[in-house]
Structure 1
Amino acid sequence: MDFEASSGFSSISPPVFDGDNYQVWAVRMEAYMEALDIWEAVEEDYEIPALPNNPTMAQIKSQKEKKTKKSKAKACLFAAVSSTIFTRIMTLKSAYELWNYLKSEYEGDERIKGMRVLNLIREFELQKMKETESIKEYSDRLLDIANRIRLLGSTFKDSRIVEKILVTVPERFEASISALENTKDLTQITLAEILNALQAQEQRRAMRQEGAVEGALPAKHHENTRNNKKKKFFKKNQNFIGESSANNKTGVKKGSYSPCQHCNRKGHPPFKCWRRPDAKCTKCNQMGHEAVICRSKNQQHDEEAKIVDQEEEDQLFVATCFVRSESNESWLIDSGCTNHMTHDKELFRDLKPTNITKVRIGNGEYISVKGKGTVAITSCSGTKLIPNVLFVPKIQQNLLSVGQLIERGFKVVFEDKYSLIKDAANQDIFKVKMKGKSFALNPLEEEQTAFPIKENITEVWHKRLGHYHHQGLLQMKFKMMANDLPELDDQISSCKACQFGKQNRKPFSKAKRDKLDKMAEPGIFVGYSSSSKAYKVYQPQTGKLIVSRDVHFVEDEEWSWNDSEKRNQTMAELRFKLLVSDTEENRDEDWQNEVVDNTPVRAPKARRSVRRLLQD
């Protein structure tokens, strides 16, 4: 390392810290500042004593050196951080305060260190060597994780790395591992020995493959030479070959054969037909055809081609998520993603720093995380907030984690080429259709938004327009009196608010009823009157049994009871009132003289009366 004699600063610039790998940067920075003899100003916040009245040259020089060390240490730390971190520490006065701030911010206390160690150990245990990876690349990955664990103050022995390599290398290293197991004690073997043994086998395999390729080139060249000679011979004797090929071995021309009895084609005798009954295929071992026209062979090739196309399509899809130049505003529902991620910073309502500094993508690489916060997604049904979303600028596809949704109580169902997302109350939030073997949620598409309501669109517009009558809605649609009015049903189900609020007729005088009183009362249909066209309706609120012809039935609902005890008591009273009512009707001569019709026209369809239920 070269130093300038005048100033004492190194010509080599200090390592720059950008927020990642603080432990590695701290070790390098400590060695760098010790070499410049300014580490003392960082390690200890000492006070510079004032000079006496008549200072000596040694005192003046000592004071100047201490001031210079503190200034150099502060300037060195300012130069060793990125511009983003510099704006956070620019107000601190001394190098001691700068170092302690960075240490507490990015290294954390013992609890945070323990959490990071657990995450690194989990990452270490999930590592596995790829088929296209070399031993050196795989060992470098493992050593990088192990050293980061050691920098956090935890012990991590090389024996764990040796065990990890022995159980995770591919099958091509089985010979070397078996030899080591038979000749050495695996508990005593060092990391260098296992790496050297596996690298030696890897080099021998590579040399053999290179030799095989070099040996294949002359053979191919020799084969091409023979083919060229054949072509020259064919051109030279073209006329002779053309004459002889027109006849077969028996001297009969091909065109002179009659149609084959097996395939109805000309040009060959029946005993040479590929479809003769006594022919046996060597591919499928079936009679009736030869291997040249075997269908199972072609089907197998087609299936293999489909599998290859599917694998290439999947690989292209993974690459598309991270290579596309244009950003996709949709959200991909991913079951393999551990966190929600987005690249769009404008979607965040609040963005805070996070302990997660990197995430690993599908190809094994790591990309940096710049923060975590709550994202606001604007959909057709309103704005929905998604908490704990990672801000990953380098990713080109917004991702929704299935695991994180389930942890928060949501339900994600995949069926019939749809992905249905429900909240904790089992209400539908989004319904996403599968496109291109993936589920991409676009919140602004109406077909992907599931509104948590039970009414159809006709009932919704009926309520929006102040419970306007159904015929009026149909007239508005027919005469185009309102823009963008959707298609409406020809019929609408019963509306409770209309039944209670709209007056059909005036059976009572104004003195007995106010304007704001209910125009109808709810009740339970219990049967028909035996002597009139009226219905019997029981009102649980008042305990009265009413016989009336002006009844509107709500057939898709039933009476809701608060508790079973009240229901049993009401049923007992109702059974007694029905018995009394039947007795009075039978004794009443006026009702007996009246003609009794059949079942009323407005009777509910396929409904059992409460009287029959009570008798059961």
Structure 2
Amino acid sequence: MSNPAEKFVQPAIPRFDGHYDYWAMTMENFLRSEKMWSLIEEGIPAEPMGISLTSEAQRKVVEEAKLKDLKVKNFLFHAIGREILETILDKGTSKAIWESMTQKYQGSTKVRRAQLQAFRREFELLTMKEGEKVDIFLGRTLSIVNKMKSNGEKMEQSMIVSKVLRSLTAKFNYVVCSIEESNDLSTLSIDELHGSLLVHEQRMQGIIEEEQVLTVAQEDKFSRGRGRGTRGRGRGRGRQSVNKAIIECYKCHKLGHYQFECPESERQVHYVEEDDEEPLLLMACTDDLPLQRAKPWFFDSGCSNHMTGNKDWFLTMDEQFNQTVRLGNDMRMSVIAKGDVKVKVEGITQVLSDVYYIPELKNNLLSIGQLQEKGLAILFQNGTCKVYHPTKGIIMQAYMSKNRTFSLSLIPTAENPMCFQAENVTEKEAQLWHKRFAHLNYKSLRTLFYQKMVDGLPSLKTPGTICSTCLIEKQQR
């Protein structure tokens, strides 16, 4: 009777999971333990051509080899899945099956060489990412190293250590210097390097957390002292946000938000503080609007008066009128004059009265408020702006564009457009103004006019006659 201690457990057949190199190594070890690896290397002994095996011993050897080959095939069938097995059903011997698997998954010498070149390039370009952990980076590095080794690359451990050290981020510079000074890289193992990097990473993480706590504490302290309604100087790039729970709003004096975020405050983009002495012009510059009409006028609810920058359109003009308009961004423009503009709207002649002339204005504006003062009704509905006259019905109609503006094409029909009366100043009057300001040059006189620095000063042109006094003063011996 056999001794139970002599019995051993039959090893499991290695299953093929797609990693050929690992499977081939374990399967070879399994077949060698079963004393069947010779059938993979040499195959079944071939029978001599034209000679029958008369010897009983010879027939017995061949039969035993065929029986062992069937066992090896059985092991391979259990190790290989059905999908792969269906592609090698025509292989009659275990050696043919093994060679087919090698050709499919290990590839030829050229294929392995090409794969190795790709892995070498990936290994050379490998660098540590910002914020990446040491464990993750070393895992990526060793994964590529293992792929290179499986394709025939021989890599020394010192080569891997040097690659890791020169691929770390800038924050590990002092760590790399310390390791290179205190260790011999030719004998330093991967595990020792890994442990040293982990220790330094933990120290750096502790320092960063302390700095963040200190930064938050400083910002919190500053916000309590001066953070009411302002952002505070402590909020910079890369720092933690301020705790708004302790921020008091200047507008409503409630906690939790700044003044510019106050829900009770009107949005500054649409409204500004009104000054009774200065008309408002809240419409922004629209140079980029696609002007599909020849002379577009834009309806503007925030504009106090009709305004234009084209002085040739005026039928009458009062050049003594001086005013300023204020934009939504608190910029100011000078109103040089005001007057009436006669235009045609869909074949009907209309007169726009009290139109401001602003040379710096690049768009023509129709004041909705001024139209209503004339007894007209304005209706915005379904993407259309309609202006109604009490007796004539609809006199103007505009459609909303893609940028949500309403513009109307108005054609000026002034027969004798008037410019500034200052342009009709005689040459004698111009010279008189020149003498009044101690023979000041005409360019400076025009600057005084446009800057509104002198009340009553008209716009002057340089006369054809040169001042004789100025010539005498500029003469040299």
Fold match (TM-score > 0.5): no
Structure number with greater Rg is 2
TM-score, L = length of structure 2: 0.38
Higher RCO (Cα < 8 Å, 6 or more apart)? 2
